[in-house]
Amino acid sequence: MFSKACEYGIRATIYIASQSRKERRVGIKEIAAFIDSPAPFTAKILQQLVKNRIIDSVKGPNGGFEIPKDRIFQICITDIVRAIDGNEIFSSCVLGLDNCSEAMPCPVHAEFRSIRAELKSLMDNTCVATLSEDLVKGKSFLKV
Amino acid sequence: MFSKACEYGIRATIYIASQSRKERRVGIKEIAAFIDSPAPFTAKILQQLVKNRIIDSVKGPNGGFEIPKDRIFQICITDIVRAIDGNEIFSSCVLGLDNCSEAMPCPVHAEFRSIRAELKSLMDNTCVATLSEDLVKGKSFLKV
DNA sequence: AATAAAAAGGATAAAAAGGTCTAAAAATCT
DNA sequence: AGATTTTTAGACCTTTTTATCCTTTTTATT
Ligand code: FES
Ligand code: FES
C-alpha cells in the first residue's frame, strides 16, 4: 500500500508529534530507535518532510525535530503520503493503465471507485493529533 | 497497491477470460499486445498463474492460454493477487510493523480495519466473469 | 519421422527501492 | 574563538523488482 519510506515517515511523524505535545524536541537516533527503523534512511525521509513543511528541524546542540502544537491538529495522513509517495495512490489506475478516467475505465475502475474515495476521506480526516494520542496513552505501538 | 506483475496478471487473466468465453485460446504475443505489457515478463507471470491453477496452458501449435468456462465464474481478484503478490496486502500492517494484531495495534490499525475488510470483500466478490463482460461489451479497457 | 509452433525454464541485465556512510553546514556552549 | 552537537547533502552500496533473451520441452501437422 505505502512504500517503506512512507511507512517510516508516518511512524516518525506520529512519534515526533507525541513528544512535541510534551514540548520535547527529538533527535534522529531517538526517533529511529523508538520506531525501529534504519536511522540514516529515516533521516533522509525526515528531510523530505521538513521541505514539505510537515515537521520542523533545529540544528545544533539540543536540536532535533518537532511539530508546532497547532499544526499537529492540521496534519493528516494524506499530507505525509503526498510528501513522500506522491499522489499516485489517490489518482492512478489500480491496474496500471496510463490514465484512470471515467471515459476509459479499466475493468475494476467502477468497483474500486467508492472504496478509493473512502480511503481518501479516511486519510484526510485522520490527523496526527488523534494518532499520537493513542500512542501517548499506550494504546497503540510503533514497533514490533 | 499491487505490484506491476500483479497488475499485468489481472489484466491478462481478464483478457484470457474474455476470449475463453468465445472458445478462443490465446498466445502470449496476442495477450501482451492487447494489454500493452512486455511479453517475456508477462509470460513469466502467466506461468505462476498456471501453477496456481488460475489459468490453463496448452503447448504446441494452436496452443496458448485459456480458462475453463465454469472457472471464469469462480476466480475472484483475491485469487489472482494471492497467486502473485501473496497475502501481504490483506494481512500485514499498513505502517509496516512486524505483526498486525488487535493486541499490539499501530496507530492507524483501528482506522484502517473496516476499509481493509471492505477491500477484501470487494475483491472476494468480484469474479473474472463480471470483469470480462464489460470488456467484451466495450465498456472497459485494458490499455492506454 | 520431420517440421513447426507454442509454452516452460534458466541465465542475465537494467532500473528502482531500500539502506549506508562520510563530509559539510549550522547552532550552541564553554 | 574553538569544540561539540545536531541536521543536511551527496555519493555510494545492496536487494528487489521489472524486463529480456536463449534454450529446452511438448505437441500438432505434414
Ligand atoms: S481506470 Fe483503472 S482504476 Fe480507474
Ligand atoms: S497493526 Fe498496523 S494495521 Fe494492524
DSSP classification of residue B101: -
Please state, in angstroms and rounded to a whole number, the distance separating the CA atoms of residues A80 and A16.
Answer: 13
Give distance in angstroms: CA of B121 to centre of ligand 1: 19
Q: Which of B127, B47, B93, B79 is nearest to A35 (CA)?
A: B93
Above pLDDT 90, what percent of chain B? 99
Amino acid at B22: K
- pTM score, whole prediction: 0.96
Record the cell numbers describing residue B39, joined without a space. Answer: 511479453
pLDDT of residue B80: 98
Give which of B11, B34, B95 to mutate to test A binding, by max A Cβ within 10 Å: B95
Q: Half-sphere exposure of A49 toward its Cβ, with a 13 Å CA cutoff?
A: 31
Q: Do B108 and A77 touch (CB under 8 A)?
A: yes
- The residues of the protein lying within 7 Å (CB) of strand D read A 26-29, 40, 43-44, 46-47, 50-51, 57-65; B 3-5, 8, 37-41, 43-44, 58-63
Please state, in angstroms and rounded to a whole number, the distance separating the CA atoms of residues A100 and A92.
Answer: 6
Cα dihedral sign, A4-A6-A9-A10? negative
pLDDT digits (tens, 9 = 90+) for A105-123: 999 999 999 999 999 999 9
Residue B144 has pLDDT above 90, yes or no: no
pLDDT digits (tens, 9 = 90+) for B69-126: 999 999 999 999 999 999 999 999 999 999 999 999 999 999 999 999 999 999 999 9
Please state, in angstroms and rounded to a whole number, the distance separating the CA atoms of residues B125 and B94.
Answer: 23
CATH number of A4-136: 1.10.10.10
pLDDT of residue B138: 97
Residue A144 has pLDDT above 90, yes or no: no
Above pLDDT 70, what percent of chain B? 100
